[in-house]
Amino acid sequence: MTLLKRFVAETEKSEGHTHILLITTGSVASIKAPLIVAELLHYQNVKIEVVSTKASLVFFDAADIEKAGSRVWKDEDEWTGGYRIGDPILHIELRRWADIVLIAPCSANTLSKIAHGLCDNLVTSLLRALSPSTPTYVFPAMNTLMYEHPLTTEHLRIVKEVVKYQVVGPIGKNLACGDVGLGAMTEWKDIVQIVVDKFSLVRKAETR
Ligand SMILES: Cc1cc2nc3c(=O)[nH]c(=O)nc-3n(C[C@H](O)[C@H](O)[C@H](O)COP(=O)(O)O)c2cc1C
């Protein structure tokens, strides 16, 4: 039997905490998600929730995220059936909760959806409903030719100039597909560092 997961922003928010929403999409770089979560949880007063597309769930084990002390939210958690007026709506509650959103990695597909305003899964519904005042970082990760595709250039322009997200990377290296070039996600430790610096997070004493 699957347990019904419920999330209400008001009860999940903790005073004085930084609420980090990590979005993972269908790039191999999603494999780094458990590392990002575990590392961020080594800092004081941090809460982190992970929202994943169906494709990204192939690349890591949600149990590893749960073991680290976080949760993974999927499309099925949004569509539980039996909705009644007043029930919490997952994508709205998650965006209400977030102090910062990291889309790490951001696939070419999700990048395109953001640029076009599509909202056909939990990730993109959440992003479409997100307040423009919530800092949102995009870490593209894709094959070099996908990255160099003129459509990607245009989608990145829209995401930066119209949607006003911060785009970081990609970086150049040997890609998982065997190609060498630009397209890899920014190093996961550098992603963590962006959050640490932004919120002046302090590491827990026992993990120094
Ligand atoms: C093994 C494998 C690796 C992939 N790696 C990437 C990638 O690094 N970047 C990317 O944009 N798409 C990649 N794809 C394709 C995406 O997973 C695919 O476009 C998917 O529809 C993305 O869905 P999403 O954006 O909803 O997560 C990969 C597919 C497979 C099968």
Domain range summary for the chain, segments of one domain joined by +: 9-201
Ligand 1 center–CA 177 separation, angstroms: 11
pLDDT score for 176: 73
Kindly give the interhelix angle for 150-161 and 108-116, rounded to the nearest 10 degrees.
Answer: 50
The reply to whether ligand 1 has any atom less than 6 angstroms from the CB of 182 is no
**Dist CA 41 CA 49 (whole Å):** 11
Query: Which strands form 18-24's sheet, in the order they lie side by side?
Result: 72-73, 46-52, 18-24, 100-106, 136-140, 166-167
Please give the number of the atom of ligand 1 that sits closest to the Cα of 123: 26
pLDDT surpassing 60 at residue 1:
no
pLDDT tens digit string along 33-77? 999 999 999 999 999 999 999 999 999 999 999 999 999 999 999
The reply to whether ligand 1 has any atom less than 6 angstroms from the CB of 53 is yes
The reply to whether ligand 1 has any atom less than 6 angstroms from the CB of 20 is no
Q: Quick one: average pLDDT of 157-166?
A: 98
Please tell me the pTM assigned to this model. Answer: 0.96
pLDDT surpassing 80 at residue 121:
yes
pLDDT surpassing 90 at residue 207:
no
Mean pLDDT, the chain, rounded, equals 94
Fold of 9-201: Rossmann fold (3.40.50)
> Using 50, 70 and 90 to split pLDDT, how confident is the model at 83?
confident
Q: Choose which residue among 107, 142, 177 to substitute to test ligand 1 binding: the one with the highest number of ligand atoms within 8 A of its C-beta.
A: 107
119 has catalytic annotation = no
pLDDT score for 178: 76
